[in-house]
Structure 1
Amino acid sequence: MATAVKRGDSYKITASCGYDISGKQIRKHTTWTPPAGMTPRQIAKELERQKVLFEERVNSGTTKDGNIRFEDFAAIWMKDFAQKQLKVKTYTGYEKSLVRINQAIGHIKLKDLRTGHLNEFYRNLEETGIRADLKYTSKIDIGAAIEQAGVTRTAFGKAAGVAGNTLRIAISGKRVSKETATAISEELGLKLSDAFRLEQPDRLLSSNTVRSYHRIISSCLGKAVKWGYIPYNPAVNAELPKMPKQEAAYLDEAEARQLLVLLHQEPIKYRAMITFDLLSGLRRGELLGLRWQDVDFENQTITIVNTLNYAPGAGVYVDTPKNTTSARPLKLSPTAFSMLLEYKRWQDDQRDACGDYWKDTVGRVFTGDDGAPVFPDSLTKWFAAFVKRSGLPDVHIHSLRHTYASLMIADGTPLPVVSRRLGHAQVSTTANIYAHAIASADEKAAQIAEKFADVVTTPEDCQATGKRKSPAKRRGRLELVG
């Protein structure tokens, strides 16, 4: 039977697992710290459970060493779990986030990691100047400083590890990343604050971003518990920032019409992508992953089976949809297919003009002028620029999907149907995202009863008690009027 000894706020649990070659008893140890808020009785009960669980792990040979640092365990977790189970884009996002996470808690041993460490990290993420995407502009004449240093701009860029085009951007006074600003400053022998100024220094990480770091840590530590490294997950009781209530950005019907009219002045390759996205509600990756073999003109349906994405290190790549319900057939309007036919004629002409230089080999619906895949962020940036110069409300590419969903709900489409068409895993996801549209539709539905306003009994036909007058009394009143 495992034993436990109280040491400060924690308990050292010991279990034996036989004897070594010299006849000495082999003992395994672990530490359990009761979560805050537990009563003495709850602690005693949970301690007994922890003793049993630890002894079972010892006897089954699944105990691991909690002395491993978080950073080292995270590397094991990424290799043995994340790399095999996660989508490429999610995995690369985890890699990027773990750099910052390891800077904060990577040095702490798993057995010593406490909820307080995580709370402190999350509070730090909410401070100013913490964003990794902050931009800097030059305070000095960088071009003159390079010239004064007696080197060419090309040589300076190579020495600083800054690409030529990026260096030209910095010299022109436009915004660059902290990494670029730091590299230029160091090569000039200056402090970052002397050579560059931080733009929008008060811009904070969003609550959702802070929570994304927590999800990674919690998932990692959850596996540490499952694999026997630690007895409990300290991330479970962490304090997270509240999520501000945010409505999905979307266009109303009049604004959507305006957008479609304005698109007639734009190149057809962009007009077709934006129009079709608005008329189908596809995610960006689903739109760009669509192939002609997934399009059925006769039955006016499309089938979502692929997505086209980008991730640093992986480049542009094809993946499966977000979840199992995202792979779906969709019946679309004749207008959507008319747009596709017009676009296909343009694409066919482009293919003929390019000849052997046409790059598409899989029959993608939406491509560049030469058949190359559309870089996802290039579509996002084009749409943002289009919205700005057109004077439309401040919406982004994903707002087209929100607009499509909101218009369906406003038109009375049942929520399960909306959810299925959007490819959501659960109807509750749809309900949460489009609460604004549902509330508006509910208000509209409430007004349906007004259709009967002209035949409903008027207030003066009722007694002060709220009871309806008898037919005889109503007839009497009518006879007097007559």
Structure 2
Amino acid sequence: MTQELKLHTYFDQWMKLYKLDAVRPVTYRKYEMTHRQLVGLVPDLKMSELSRLTYQQLLNDYAETHERQTVMDFHRHIKSALIDALEEGLIDRDPTRKAIIKGTPHRKHKVKFLSQHEVQDLLNILVLDEGVNWDYFILLTAKTGLRFAEALAVTPKDFDFAHQYLNISKTWDYKSVESGFAPTKNKSSVRKVQLDWQTVIQFSQLTKGLPENEPIFVRSKVYNDTVNHYLERLCKKANIPVISVHGLRHTHASLLLYAGVSIASVARRLGHSNMTTTQQTYLHIIQELENQDNDKVMKHLASLI
């Protein structure tokens, strides 16, 4: 009976019918996560028992251990399913109407990055004379600011050594059981990343003889933790702060900002969908640079007297 249909059962049927193969695998996994949360939070809640009160209680329970933005995403998933349920006559009113989104206080995520001197110390200990290895992967990430999945997907054919750029048009879905090429995070992530002449020489030598359309760094199943642990050992060996591979991306962007590169250019190089993302991520650096600019303005104005 429809009246006995449980919420998590309906959501499971709905996401398989409307979302499976219609959205990217990484997006579908988020729907699967929402389903698992429903099973854990309200294993016995029936569709017939849904009301604004029971739905708000569900959101409140989820919000006890999640930040507001995460709760908002959770709410959007369920709301989409319940709007369809309403149109199908499975429920007679929208229980998500006027829902209040709560959440735990937003944690300030500290952006870890290395100074230019520390990056140089790291690059100095890389072993780059033994063919393809994780040292080359770390070099590429530090020099380009690529996301982990983007760097894994790089093939020899993606390099345009004559014009000194790297074409980013795909990622490597390392999280799936059957790994393979996948789309980029967003349309802005499809981009050409300019390369310095040293990197061009290093990778033109490295990629000689390698299959043109196969990822350079993927030989078997790859785990993010494996590369991060390797990078951790290198950082300790170089006597510099320990950062992750994603930290190298932050480092790349930070060094460019300190060098005076515009926010717009940094955003394009990183593949951000808009400059707001860049500004929010590197707010502390931007504010520091603005303070330096203010000092320059005051000194200039004072010199006019």
Q: Same fold (TM over 0.5)?
A: yes
1:273 paired to 2:137: yes
1:132-182 residue CA offsets vs partner (Å, 9 max, x unmatched): xxxxxxxxxxxxxxxxxxxxxxxxxxxxxxxxxxxxxxxxxxxxxxxxxxx
* 2:17 partner amino acid: D
Give the structure 2 partner of residue 404 of structure 1. 252
Shift of 1:90: 3.3
Find the counterpart in structure 2 of residue 385 from structure 1: 233
Which among 124, 148, 159 is matched to residue 261 of structure 1? 124
Between stretches 87-96 and 335-344, larger displacement belongs to 87-96
Quote the offset at 1:281 in angstroms. Answer: 0.7
Counterpart of 1:215 in structure 2 is 73
Say which SS state the counterpart of residue 263 (structure 1) adopts.
Answer: coil
Match of 1:300 in 2: 164
Q: CA deviation at 1:103?
A: 1.8
Q: Structure 1 236/291 Cα, relative in aligned 2: closer, same or farther at 3 Å?
A: farther
Gaps of 5+ in 1: 1-64, 127-206, 352-359, 458-482
Question: CA offsets, 1:73-114, max 9 Å, x none?
Answer: 211232123323332233235424532431211321242432
Instruction: Identify which of 324, 327, 330 aligns with 2:193.
Output: 330
Identity, % of aligned positions: 20
Residue 94 of structure 2 aligns with which residue?
Answer: 231
Return the match for 1:287 from 151, 156, 176. 151
Where do 1:7-22 residues align within 5 Å? none
Q: Distance in 2 between matches of 1:379 and 1:267?
A: 18
Write the distance in 1 (CA, Å) between the matches of 2:189 and 2:58. Answer: 38
For 1:257, give the aligned amino acid: Q
Letter in 2 for 1:321: T
Residue matched to 1:74: 11
The AA in structure 1 aligned to 2:180 is Y
Check 1:67–1:429 CA distance in 2 against 1; reply closer, same or farther (3 A cut).
farther
Higher relative CO (Cα under 8 Å, sequence separation at least 6) belongs to 2
Instruction: State the 1:411 CA deviation.
Output: 1.5
Residue 214 (structure 2) pairs with residue 363 (structure 1): yes
Gaps of 5+ in 2: none
Give per-residue Cα distances to partners, 1:193-242, cap 9 Å, x unaligned: xxxxxxxxxxxxxx45x853652343222331255244142684132112
Following superposition, the deviation at residue 394 of structure 1 comes to 2.8
Larger Rg: 1
Given residue 215 of structure 1, which amino acid in structure 2 is its aligned partner?
A: D
| Cross-structure match for 1:35 | none
Find the aligned partners of 2:257 and 2:161 in 1 and give their Cα distance: 26
Aligned equivalents of 2:61 and 2:222: distance in 1?
42
Q: Distance in 1 between the 2:94 and 2:162 partners? A: 59
The alpha carbon displacement at 1:410 in A equals 1.3
Match of residue 45 from structure 2 = 108
Other structure's SS at 1:421 match: helix
Matched residue SS, 1:302? strand
SS in 1 for 2:179: strand
Is 2:181 aligned against 1:318? yes
Checking the alignment, whether the CA contact within 8 Å between 2:190 and 2:271 is kept in structure 1 is: yes
Distance 1:388 1:86 in 2: 41
**Aligned residue number for residue 425 of structure 1:** 273
C-alpha contact (below 8 Å) 1:419/1:427 kept by paired residues: yes
3-state SS in 2 of match to 1:107: coil
Indicate if the aligned counterparts of 2:166 and 2:194 stay in contact, CA closer than 8 A: yes
Distance 1:266 1:121, change over 3 A: farther
Task: Return closer, same or farther for 1:444/1:283 CA change in 2, 3 Å cut-off.
Answer: same
> What TM-score results when the alignment is normalised by the length of structure 1?
0.55
Residue 435 (structure 1) shift: 0.5
What is the aligned residue count? 294
Between the aligned partners of 1:290 and 1:116, the Cα distance in structure 2 is 46
